[in-house]
Amino acid sequence: MIPAPPPVIDGVQVQGPVTARYEDLSQDGHFRPLGLPHTLGQLVWPALMQLPVSEQAREAGILPILSRMILRRGGAPHSAIRPFQGQGIGHRATVRGPDGTVDRILLLMWARFMGRRGATHETGEGGEYVVAGEVYAEHIFTRLFGEPGDRRVRELPDGVPAGSWDWTPFEAVAKPELTWEKGEEILRPFRFGLTHTDPNFHVNSLVYPRVFEEVALDCLAAAGLPFGELAVEEVEMMWRKPFFAGDSLQVRASLYKEGARLHMLGAFLDERGAERCRIRLSYAE
């Protein structure tokens, strides 16, 4: 579930047009969850980059690194040719320890965009407006290229954000409730290469769900489910530590049932078996 933004925003609130890429929509006119994050780049990031503190932070070697993301598709059908209208928020907040001191500083983002229902190849005005997709992203301000003991950021160039935020621990993400029925499980070896990386010198965050979706399809097939008919409605991911080019790993995928609804829970395990990324796919009912 995407958390609600705070009533007071320390950052930016923006709205404007959002464009879709043809490959962002599936054959039924729904946005694929992995086609949603680029809305942050169209709406929120450009507004944040205009803030003086953004340039000051970059000069100090401080960058917001994605640590958690939730993607949720909306109603359908839509056409990639027709424009969408979006709203976005960028908000800074602190996570504080039990003694009240700053433990880390977050950059939180929300994006929601609306589109008119209509046939997938229409260029006309279309029907009623519906939510086409939603994105929530947590970033941790980090001295990315600093020494290991100096990477945690507890103050920005313009001070410490006033607002606070409840931190979701890694262990709580994509963790099934005890009432869920566990089905098939797959463990698949994988390797990351240079093609999976980005300018932050690690595997790009959106590579993980792409890889996991492929493993999940095999898991669905092994369970005898109609994998060609099931659509991912929501994706949740959280990273404890990134992978890098040249890393060998294993991808674990487990099928769970919550009543009639299906969820695929998984993790990316390093060579020592430690979980670096957790992920959940929830399929439409």
Domain of 90: which CATH number? 3.10.129.10
pLDDT above 60 (res 41): yes
pLDDT given for residue 175 in this prediction: 65
pLDDT above 80 (res 76): yes
Shared-domain flag, residues 30 and 131: yes
Determine the straight-line distance between the first and last CA of the chain, rounded to whole angstroms: 16
pLDDT above 90 (res 179): no
Q: What angle do CA 73, 140, 153 make, to 5 degrees?
A: 170
Shared-domain flag, residues 176 and 161: no
Distance CA 244, CA 230 (A): 31
pLDDT given for residue 111 in this prediction: 96
Q: Is the torsion defined by CA of 279, 161, 44, 50 positive or negative?
A: negative
Average pLDDT over residues 31-41: 90
| Token digits of residue 128 | 């009623």
Q: Do the domain assignments include residue 76?
A: yes
pLDDT given for residue 178 in this prediction: 52
Distance CA 216, CA 210 (A): 10
Shared-domain flag, residues 176 and 45: no
Shared-domain flag, residues 22 and 156: yes
| Token digits of residue 281 | 């796919």
Segment 91-102, tens digit of pLDDT = 999 999 898 899
pLDDT given for residue 164 in this prediction: 92
Mean pLDDT of the chain: 90
| Token digits of residue 18 | 């959002």
Average pLDDT over residues 189-196: 97
pLDDT given for residue 15 in this prediction: 95
Q: Any residues with CB less than 8 A from the CB of 226 and at least 6 apart, and which?
A: none
pLDDT above 60 (res 158): yes
Amino acid making up residue 251: V
Please say which residue of 142, 166, 190 terminates a domain.
Answer: 166
Q: How would residue 116 be classed by pLDDT, with cut points 50, 70 and 90?
A: confident
Q: Is the torsion defined by CA of 46, 10, 157, 136 positive or negative?
A: negative
